[in-house]
Amino acid sequence: MSDILIFFDCESYSVPQDITILEAAERIGKAIPHICSHPKLSVSGNCRSCLVEVALPDKDNVLQWQPTPVLACSTKVQNGMHVRTQSEMVRASRESVMEFLFAQRPLDCTVCDKAGDCSLQNIAFDYGRSCSRFHETKIKKPKQIIVGPRLILDAERCILCSLCVRFCKEVLKKDLIAFSERGSATQLVCAPQSDMESNYWLNMVDICPAGALVDSKATLKPRPWLLKKTPSISTESSVGVNIDVWSREGTLYAITPRRNDFVNDTWMPDSAREAFVDKRERCSECRIRGAVVTLEEAVRYSAQQIKESGGFGIVGSSFLSLEEQFLLKKLLDSTPSKLFWLKHEDRGDGFLVSDDRTPNLNGAFLSGLLSQPPDDLNAIKAAFAQNTFKTWLVFYEDIATWVDKKALDGKTLIYCNTHSNKSAKEATVLLPALTVFEQAGCFVNRDYRLQKFLKAVERKGVPSISDAIKGLLSHFNITVDLWPTIQAAIPALQNTSFDEIPLTGIQLKKSDKSV
Amino acid sequence: MPLEYPLVLKHLREKAFKPGIEAYLSLEGYQVYRRFLEASAESLKQAMRTAGLRECGTGVLVADIWDRAPQKPILVINAHVSEPGNFKDRTLLRDPHQMIEGALIAAHAVGAEQIYFYVRSDWTAEIKLLEAAIEDARAYCFVGKLEGGGGCEACVYVGGGAAICGETFGVEAAIVGCRPVPSMMGHPSVVIHSVETVCQVKHVLSVAHETLTRVFAVGGGVQRPGCYEFPCGSLTLGELIYDVAGGLVPGRKLRGVFPCGVFSKCVAAEALFALGPRQVSLYDLPMDFDTWPQLGLSMGRGSVIVIDDAVNVRSIIVNLMRFFATEICGFCVPCREGSRWLHQMLERIQRGEGRPSDVELMLSLTDQMRGRVACPFGEFMADSVHSLVTLFREDLKTT
């Protein structure tokens, strides 16, 4: 479809047909305040804050300005349309909407958890009145109503924008919450007979423009302006939900969804929101039989064990990043070793949680580590029982819990994990690892979309898995130039450095497979 | 004095009239329906176009509505109009078979196989009457699917009772079982007519086309309030108030009139209007479809409310504002918050706690609502309240 010409405040822009004025304004970087519209939900048009002045040329090419302002969120652009976003009438409309919104509403930004990340607050800063003309008694509405497993509603703060109601109806296809009553008594309520079963409640907290819906577990956190936002990828499942990680001084505080129209739109499951909470003890030091050593010593000892035992078994993992998997592939190719792999499957929900509960299984296909879906649980057990290999290099998988204690005895277990577990305690050599929030890398999701995650927090002194594998490779006299190797293997990444990968990722094909 | 010309109100004018089907059939009931059952939809549309019949309230030509009708629509007869002071529809519902016959003809013209009589829930007696009438009509095979195909089902659909449920979008939403709020998501496949319009449909086809009539409900400070029917455009507002409705009670003075119902502006008694080159007083304005929109007033649904100097104007305004504030849908911000604010202010003024700045603030708030609300109802409210506050500014000042 060809583009059309539209004028914003007398400047001409070329925009695609069939989009609304609001979408066009966002594309060209013009700010039109809006509260009740969301790019992924249907248009409602109830907040009336996106009103703009619009004119179309008549047949004599004279501009005919419409007498009343129109909604930018629901009016489609037309060729030759003129839009005023800053005129006196538009400003007056926005100011009047703000005055109406704030007349009855409590002005409690100072104690509101949404403050700093609140669209209503932002618009109020631009168009709110500094003093009130409202001399009546403010309407009292209930506060702290529990509307969901983790959701608290403050009815006084609610501006009835219907975003959450539309989210339930259109995205979840389930009426979890709805409006009751009518007119100025309208109130948000739990829909009767709703089973309340959903893994997506907290998305309503994200889209709530007024701080009326609050996550009961996420109150009293540092203000958003004190936190650093880092783009990342959820490791919950192979969907690869795009997330933002909020951190401050090395501590993670929250995970929120990041918009990616190809993957998760603007949503994420609740179950992935606390991925940073892990009560288990961290592995932060290299150890040989419990004694703390440096990485060099641990790697030297491991390489020596590998060389002595002839062949060795590797248990890889779909939790490894694409870079780590390429390094592992190099190690597999250059040493007498055999690769084992486990699947992690559970029932998905058909939306943003898939059956495959690992983030990077397709990365293993791309790096050439795997050629078919893995299921080596019994093979590993058998290999341990039959003493096939004396030395094992294991990533993440807690094999000590399901391999016989007897079979483990006498084996050299080189174990690599972020947190301590039974295998870490049994390990001969323990190599620490960094979590997805502490390093940068790439995952390939279920649709072969390559997505990168960045380092949100610095963890000093803990070596990464890449360092460990590189160290092992150096003992076999191999040096790897990692990124050129990946580029050679995946044609779609030619001429693209890691920094140049867009945050929304690159779509790869299944055939983009390392030879 | 203009002569009344009762067509729609003819049966109701007769003291002996009973709303049963036998009585209706004896008065040539359902004859028009029988006659036009075989007629093509096109010829019915043509008849409406020749007669120039308009939808009461909006003033749109019925022929145009039928032309634009979707395929196989549901015909909705909107008997849910809840405008204060408009008792016309409720009166007409007491002659239910006339409405059913008109609705059947309209359904035939638009190809509808289902008619919903959408009635306000508080009108219980009328609902009972209408339900019985539909059953009678079914017994006589006027209503219901015919064996050889064709025919039209009809039933009563009881609405929510709030004024907003009787607005066009409210009807559309209610018919598909949703909350009565304006929707941007397209419209259900319905054709909506008012009670008076479908009654007129029958009469347009039965009598000579020159006499298109309109029913007016006159109320307020007149001696003979009630429903009156006149040929369209044949009388002026002055004639309607003073000659037909008996004028004001002797000794009282006219203060203002809602010439088009309370969903439009209130006009001062001494107001003059520029109608073309002429200056016309309120009393000389003809009660037709085309004059009022030129003066910035909607034609409304044919109710006229007279305010004389014996009533407490402040109470009228407070009462009307209470109606607006409680009967809106609460969808858009300016209407929801503005009406509540205005209502609170007027209640405070009523309590005698007015502030000097109140009148200016009320005018400012109604100005802020105009052109920024989502539906006509909000515009009506802003217009109505703005005109009242401007007109009766002195009455709102607390001494």
Reading the block at residue B369, the tokens are 């609502």
CB B171 within 8 A of CB B329: no
Q: Which of A48, A179, A182 sits opposite B372 (nearest CB)?
A: A48
Q: Span A124-131, mean pLDDT?
A: 92
**B399, pLDDT greater than 60:** no
Q: Indicate the domain borders of chain A.
A: 3-97, 286-507
Question: Which range, of A26-35, A497-506, B201-210, B258-267, averages the lowest pLDDT?
Answer: B201-210
pLDDT tens column, A202-249: 999 999 999 999 998 887 788 999 999 999 999 999 999 999 999 999
Q: Which of B333, B345, B370 sits opposite A97 (nearest CB)?
A: B333
Q: Which of A69, A103, A182 sits opposite B330 (nearest CB)?
A: A182
**A184, pLDDT greater than 90:** no
Question: Selecting from 3.40.50.300, 3.40.50.720, 3.30.70.100, 3.10.20.600, what CATH number does the domain B214-308 have?
Answer: 3.10.20.600
**B234, pLDDT greater than 90:** no
State residue A488's pLDDT score.
87
**A195, pLDDT greater than 80:** no
* Cross-chain residue pair B327–A46, CB shorter than 8 Å: no
Flag whether residue B333 sits within 8 Å of chain A, measured between CB atoms: yes
Question: HEC profile for chain B?
Answer: CCCCCCCCCHHHHCCCCCCCHHHHHHCCCCHHHHHHCCCCHHHHHHHHHHHCCECCECCCEHHHHHHCCCCCCEEEEEECCCCCCCCHHHHHCCCHHHHHHHHHHHHHHHCCCEEEEEECCCCHHHHHHHHHHHHHHHHCCCCEECCCCCEEEEEEEECCCCHHHHCHHHHHHHHCCCCCCCCCCCCCCEEEEEHHHHHHHHHHHHCCCCCCEEEEEEEECCCCCEEEEEECCCCEHHHHHHHHCCCCCCCCCEEEEECCCCCCCCEECCCEEEECCEEEEHHHCECCCCHHHHCCCCCECCEEEEEECCCCHHHHHHHHHHHHHHHCCCCCHHHHHHHHHHHHHHHHHHCCCCCCCHHHHHHHHHHHHCCCCCCHHHHHHHHHHHHHHHHCHHHHCCC
**B397, pLDDT greater than 90:** no
Pick from A265-274, A504-513, B50-59 the range whose average pLDDT is largest.
Answer: A265-274
**A196, pLDDT greater than 90:** no
Question: Selecting from 3.30.310.40, 3.50.50.60, 3.10.20.740, 3.90.1420.10, what CATH number does the domain A3-97 have?
Answer: 3.10.20.740
- A286-507, CATH topology level: Rossmann fold (3.40.50)
Q: Is A297 helix (H, G, I), strand (E, B) or coil?
A: helix
* Cross-chain residue pair B184–A68, CB shorter than 8 Å: no
**B264, pLDDT greater than 80:** yes
Q: Span B260-264, mean pLDDT?
A: 89
**A122, pLDDT greater than 70:** yes
Q: Span B182-204, mean pLDDT?
A: 87
pLDDT tens column, B154-164: 999 998 888 88
Please say whether the dihedral angle defined by the alpha carbons of residues B239, B240, B243 and B249, taken in this order, is positive or negative.
negative
**A515, pLDDT greater than 60:** no
In the structure, what pLDDT confidence band is assigned to residue A431 with cuts at 50, 70 and 90? very high
State residue B209's pLDDT score.
61
Average pLDDT of every residue of chain B = 90
Question: Which range, of A160-164, A335-339, A451-455, A508-512, averages the lowest pLDDT?
Answer: A508-512
Q: How far is A276 from chain B (nearest CA, A)?
A: 40
Q: Indicate the domain borders of chain B.
A: 10-206, 214-308, 313-396
Flag whether residue A136 sits within 8 Å of chain B, measured between CB atoms: yes
CA distance B9 to A504: 69
**A320, pLDDT greater than 60:** yes
pLDDT tens column, A244-294: 999 999 999 999 999 999 999 999 999 999 888 888 899 999 999 999 999
pLDDT tens column, A300-315: 999 999 998 888 999 9
Q: Span B203-211, mean pLDDT?
A: 77
Q: Give B-chain residues touching A104 at CB under 8 angstroms.
A: 337, 340-341
Flag whether residue A191 sits within 8 Å of chain B, measured between CB atoms: no
- Superfamily holding B10-206: NADH-ubiquinone oxidoreductase 51kDa subunit (3.40.50.11540)
Q: Give A-chain residues touching B374 at CB under 8 angstroms.
A: 45-46, 48
Flag whether residue A100 sits within 8 Å of chain B, measured between CB atoms: yes
Flag whether residue A88 sits within 8 Å of chain B, measured between CB atoms: no
Q: Which of B185, B339, B371 sits opposite A184 (nearest CB)?
A: B339
Q: Which of B325, B355, B373 sits opposite A135 (nearest CB)?
A: B355
Residue found by looking up tokens 């078994």 in the block: A313
Average pLDDT of every residue of chain A = 91
In the structure, what pLDDT confidence band is assigned to residue B245 with cuts at 50, 70 and 90? very high
State residue A7's pLDDT score.
94
- B313-396, CATH topology level: de novo design (two linked rop proteins) (1.20.1440)
State residue B2's pLDDT score.
78
* Cross-chain residue pair B331–A101, CB shorter than 8 Å: no
Q: Span B184-196, mean pLDDT?
A: 85
pLDDT tens column, B124-149: 999 999 999 999 999 999 998 877 77
**A198, pLDDT greater than 70:** yes
pLDDT tens column, B105-117: 999 999 999 999 9
Flag whether residue B356 sits within 8 Å of chain A, measured between CB atoms: no
pLDDT tens column, B292-313: 888 888 767 889 999 999 999 9
Q: Span A395-414, mean pLDDT?
A: 90
State residue B157's pLDDT score.
94
